[in-house]
Structure 1
Amino acid sequence: MKLKICIFLILLSIFLSNKVAYSLNTNPIKTDLCAWIDSSFTKAMNEYHIPGATIIVMKGDSVLHMNGYGMAHIETNTSVVADSTIFGIASISKTFVGTAIMQLYEKGKLDLDRDVNNYLTSFKLKYKFNDSITVRNLLTHTAGLDYSIIGMSVRSKKDLIPLDKYLKTKLPPQIRPSGKVMMYSNQGYALLGFIVEEVSGIPYYEYVSQNILNPLEMNSSSYRRASKLNENYATGYVHNGERFIPFKPDFLLCYPAGGLFATASDMGNYISMFLNNGSFKGRQILDSTSVAKMLYSPFKQYEKAEYGWLLGLYEFQSHKIKYYGHDGSWQGFQSRLALFPDKNIGFFIDVNSEGSKGNSQRFINEFADSFVERMMPQSIIEKQQAEVTPKRGSVDEPLNKFAGKYRLTAYAHKTLGKLGVLIGLVPEITIVSQDSILKVLDWNLELLPVSDLTFHTKYGHFAFDRDTRGEIFYFFTQIYSYQKLKWYEPVTFQMYWIGSIILIVLIYIITSVERKLFSRHKKSNLIKKMNFALALTIALFIGLLAYTLTKTELNDFFFGIPLLLKITLVIPFIIIPLECAAIYSLIKAIRFKELKPVDIAYQSLMLVAALLFIPWLQYYNLIGFNY
């Protein structure tokens, strides 16, 4: 009996030691790494208000570190367990799209540089410019598609619709030539997912399960929540003041772009595949040449860019060290996949908190920088020693041609989502010419002329480019792009524009009511009645619009447009005919001398304000139902 007990205790100790083998190791380097990671996560979760987190660090096939921290569900006090807690990986899902595309490319079923219309049967893309959109354009976010977040998701599983039905109504139009400017597009990756469906003959999520997840033994990962694992899914939170507010479960309509769920241990297998040239436990998920194409064939917006967008991934830099991967952010989850192929190392991080001040993303950035410092100190020294500041040169245009206001290109151009510009969600910068250099005032950054349209900064080379008319229009900062604004487009001018209209309208309404109540002469000319109705209608529209925007969370627009906003959009169809009637009434009043010169000037001022309201509505796509 004692022998049996001893054998049982020995087997139990072996089992338990295997369960904690990821953290306990006699290798001092590995032990030190694990202790540092645990300490970093514990400190950051307290400092940055992160309820739960998970991480895995791989070296080839071996796990250097894997652990879970904090709470997967605050309400039930459920802890994060790295090999069983399932996190939303958000836009890291796009790397799986890239993997699926490259598998089909290997089989000769699609060409990266062929017009995607060759693979679409249920609908075709319309091209505004004399070019086409290719699979490579979609993979590198260079298809020229407009930006859109409205109606990307639904609240209930029963409201899910097939990819082709979603894309037929929600795929944004092309607003610039393809292959020129990188602008992030979730719908572009949804289109790639649908191309996988068209080429393979099965739904995208089934293709990924059969050809990527199952061979990689990612048994807890899927695009569709598995009911048998329901208790394993972490909840995403937003930290607001002193409280963590949970996000309700949602269902992405453009799900290939961001709808995958996975555990850290499963993502370790995925990392191992990339580090081993597409192989996992003897199974070839991708050919080594395909892995090389995904990691080492970036699209760069200009020749001297240090890094750019890859085929399903993009390039990062930390301390001048380049690595590859993808970030993710969606409904309370923030994540990063990082691959260092030359060091045979990779890591995956996911946290279930969306901080009000970007705290979660800040932590991930800080961790990645510290990881590079710790794991590659010699490489950092070599990069610093090799860095050479270029000599001042000359560029193709006078410096004053580059000066002006610029706005980040990642905003809605053709839908009412453009209102995000007005409320400050889209960064704008001012570039001035100063003492033979350019300066970005908002960043206190100097741009030293080098050659062509390229400038040198302390962050590396930045560049400008021209629009289709040959004028300086784009400003490129490695992987981000800005576009030059016309004189009336900056937010400051826009605020003066709409502010002046509101002021005139309110003064007109107040004085009209005052005159009606206290004036002895009750008689009112038709133009006064028309202008009063016009002023009230404009005030009603602005009031309802402001109320809706202040009462609606930004995330709510992912699920569509509030009913009140839809009702509000009817009002411009009343304003426009009212303006036409008011113009006719004013002309009639002037012709028949029904008003004094002072009254004519006053009524004209109100009418001019109303007329200037129309182009403002048009600029923000508020005439019609543009969503």
Structure 2
Amino acid sequence: MSYVLYLSLTLLAAIGDAANLNCPNNQWIEKSLNNSYIPGAAIVVVNGTHTLYEHAFGYHSISSPQLIDVEKSIFGLASISKTLIATAVMQLVEKELVDLDTDINHYLSEPHRRIFHPKYPSHSITLRKLLSHSSSIAVDDSIELGLYQLGDTAFGQSTLAEALFAHINPNTSNWLPKPPGTVSFYSNGGSSLAGLVVERVTNMSFDLYVKEKIMKPLGVDISKVGVRLADFSNRDELVKHNAYVFNASDFNVWTQGLPQLNVTKLSENFPTWLNIPFFGFSAYPSGLFRMSARSLSKFLQMFMNNGSNLISPKSIAEMKIIVGGGLIPYYDPSGIANASTIALPSFGLSWTWQTLKDGRRYVGHSGTLPGSRHWMLINEKNTVGVIVLSNGDSNVPSDRSKEYYQLLENIHLALFQCFEGELVK
């Protein structure tokens, strides 16, 4: 029996075990994380008003053992950061400072640098299209990886505007061969461009806007929220990025794919683990906010509680609506995505709907960066929200991503099953 098949069967059996009175099954979760070479994870379960469960598993760092702490361990949120962009945009919509369907060039105010599709210039790029990944912006993966730089150096090399205008302009090939609004395609660049609109309209850096206008009103200590390493007085609270390699070929993929990050073997005591130094990238709104699982849970509770005092219930509903009514196809000429056993998501405004293997729909967002993989989901009834932040890696080898997805899916299903008080069907 293959390792992956054995792991899948073990996890499926464990979901059944979690249905008994002894739930959540912390022992099973810990064993599952260990079996998938995940050093540590912080898990929080909430409803709109209360924390139902929180638990830390494993290690914040490996070489100098330090346990994960739900409150103190600060993770890079990866693409979960995109949900902050939509919240910021909807705040501006409520103040009538922006409109979701107005051409973003109106807000960028760059007469000599306009954003439009080179083949379809009459199809405007709007905030709705950016947030729902239907703008036809498709920056090449190699370009995005090239933006990763050690420490905070990326922020000194270019501003958010400079990084985006360099790669998202009509003189580049970073566009799909389809008119904006007719297909969907997951776009980090498009999401960050929406963050730039927030900057231009508010005359504040996007990261400062998030701290002052989103996290601070939620009662989060903004000294524990940031993007740059310099934002944190105690860098020991930042969760270390590591990756497990099965052979020399895996190690070579890392060193050749991200040579600028100087990925090395962790130590002689841990020869199968890699150390991924802290890094940043200038197009940060789409994937680099850093905070603890507990801080993120306050944001999730706001969303579940119809916006609390941050945004209106109408804006929450707007973010949940699938743009195009589910009729905008995903652009996948290779057929790779459609051939996957993992169901394609449906896009609202940064928040995405995902159908899991129980046949039910959940809304939230996942996130992946080198050395981390996360998932934040809410059930369709809006009664339970689950956050899993982990410092494991699913990038190398390539089949790790599917295995990791199944692991996070199984943990989420077990926790939903436990805290909904009903069997997952």
Bin the TM-score by the shorter chain. Answer: 0.7 to 0.9
Of residues 309, 317, 322, the one that matches 2:347 is 309
Q: How does 1:83-122 map to 2 (within 5 A)?
A: 83-122=71-110
In structure 2, the residue matched to 1:174 is 175
Of residues 17, 32, 36, the one that matches 2:22 is 32
Of residues 148, 164, 168, the one that matches 1:153 is 148
C-alpha separation in 1, matches of 2:362 and 2:324: 15
8 Å CA contact 1:140–1:299 kept in 2: the answer is no
C-alpha separation in 2, matches of 1:311 and 1:31: 38
1:224 and 2:228 matched: yes
Of residues 205, 211, 214, the one that matches 2:213 is 211
In structure 2, the residue matched to 1:433 is none
C-alpha separation in 2, matches of 1:288 and 1:30: 36
1:235-274 per-position Cα deviation (integer Å, ceiling 9, x unaligned): 1111112622121111111100000111111111111101
1:165 and 2:165 matched: no
8 Å CA contact 2:40–2:60 kept in 1: the answer is yes
In structure 2, the residue matched to 1:292 is 317
In structure 2, the residue matched to 1:132 is 124
1:372-399 per-position Cα deviation (integer Å, ceiling 9, x unaligned): 4445586855xxxxxxxxxxxxxxxxxx
Look up the SS of the partner of 2:217 in the other structure.
Answer: coil
Q: How does 1:512-531 map to 2 (within 5 A)?
A: none
In the TM superposition, what is the alpha-carbon distance from 1:49 to its structure 2 partner? 0.9
C-alpha separation in 2, matches of 1:251 and 1:62: 33
C-alpha separation in 1, matches of 2:318 and 2:124: 22
In structure 2, the residue matched to 1:72 is 60
In the TM superposition, what is the alpha-carbon distance from 1:39 to its structure 2 partner? 2.1
C-alpha separation in 1, matches of 2:404 and 2:319: 28
8 Å CA contact 2:373–2:393 kept in 1: the answer is yes
1:349-404 per-position Cα deviation (integer Å, ceiling 9, x unaligned): 011011442343331122123334445586855xxxxxxxxxxxxxxxxxxxxxxx
Distance change in 2, residues 1:303/1:177 (3 Å)? closer
Look up the SS of the partner of 1:136 in the other structure.
Answer: helix
In structure 2, the residue matched to 1:362 is 406
Distance change in 2, residues 1:259/1:57 (3 Å)? same
Distance change in 2, residues 1:351/1:304 (3 Å)? closer
8 Å CA contact 1:181–1:301 kept in 2: the answer is no
Look up the SS of the partner of 2:44 in the other structure.
Answer: strand
1:252 and 2:290 matched: no
C-alpha separation in 2, matches of 1:90 and 1:243: 24
Look up the SS of the partner of 1:353 in the other structure.
Answer: coil
Of residues 49, 53, 56, the one that matches 2:41 is 53
Which amino acid is 1:143 matched to? S
8 Å CA contact 1:141–1:184 kept in 2: the answer is yes
Which amino acid is 1:274 matched to? F
**Which range is displaced more, 83-92 or 163-172?**
163-172
Q: Percent identity?
A: 25
C-alpha separation in 1, matches of 2:72 and 2:424: 36
In the TM superposition, what is the alpha-carbon distance from 1:300 to its structure 2 partner? 4.7
Distance change in 2, residues 1:227/1:275 (3 Å)? closer
In structure 2, the residue matched to 1:371 is 415
Look up the SS of the partner of 2:161 in the other structure.
Answer: helix
1:334 and 2:373 matched: yes
8 Å CA contact 1:164–1:194 kept in 2: the answer is yes
Distance change in 2, residues 1:31/1:196 (3 Å)? farther
Look up the SS of the partner of 1:32 in the other structure.
Answer: coil
Look up the SS of the partner of 1:119 in the other structure.
Answer: helix
8 Å CA contact 1:141–1:182 kept in 2: the answer is yes
In the TM superposition, what is the alpha-carbon distance from 1:33 to its structure 2 partner? 3.0
Of residues 251, 267, 270, the one that matches 2:296 is 267
C-alpha separation in 1, matches of 2:71 and 2:278: 22
In the TM superposition, what is the alpha-carbon distance from 1:343 to its structure 2 partner? 4.1
Which amino acid is 2:193 matched to? L
Distance change in 2, residues 1:60/1:144 (3 Å)? same
Which amino acid is 2:287 matched to? G
In the TM superposition, what is the alpha-carbon distance from 1:317 to its structure 2 partner? 1.2
In the TM superposition, what is the alpha-carbon distance from 1:32 to its structure 2 partner? 3.5
In structure 1, the residue matched to 2:238 is 233
Look up the SS of the partner of 2:218 in the other structure.
Answer: coil
Distance change in 2, residues 1:365/1:240 (3 Å)? same
C-alpha separation in 1, matches of 2:276 and 2:406: 21
C-alpha separation in 2, matches of 1:300 and 1:307: 13
In structure 1, the residue matched to 2:6 is none
Which sections of structure 2, spanning at least 5 residues, go unmatched?
1-18, 247-270, 331-343
Distance change in 2, residues 1:303/1:198 (3 Å)? closer
Larger RCO: 1 or 2 (CA < 8 Å, sep 6+): 2
C-alpha separation in 1, matches of 2:236 and 2:345: 41
**Which range is displaced more, 170-179 or 368-377?**
368-377
In the TM superposition, what is the alpha-carbon distance from 1:214 to its structure 2 partner? 0.9
1:153-182 per-position Cα deviation (integer Å, ceiling 9, x unaligned): 222423412111111212264332011111
C-alpha separation in 2, matches of 1:297 and 1:263: 29
Q: Number of matched residues?
A: 348
**What TM-score do you get using the length of structure 1 for normalisation?**
0.53
Which sections of structure 1, spanning at least 5 residues, go unmatched?
1-28, 382-627
Distance change in 2, residues 1:102/1:49 (3 Å)? same
1:143 and 2:120 matched: no
In the TM superposition, what is the alpha-carbon distance from 1:73 to its structure 2 partner? 0.8
Query: What do you get for the CA RMSD once the two structures are aligned?
Result: 2.4
8 Å CA contact 1:238–1:332 kept in 2: the answer is yes
Rg: which structure is higher? Answer: 1
8 Å CA contact 1:30–1:64 kept in 2: the answer is no
Distance change in 2, residues 1:380/1:74 (3 Å)? closer
Look up the SS of the partner of 1:133 in the other structure.
Answer: coil
In the TM superposition, what is the alpha-carbon distance from 1:216 to its structure 2 partner? 1.4
In the TM superposition, what is the alpha-carbon distance from 1:45 to its structure 2 partner? 1.8
Look up the SS of the partner of 1:285 in the other structure.
Answer: coil
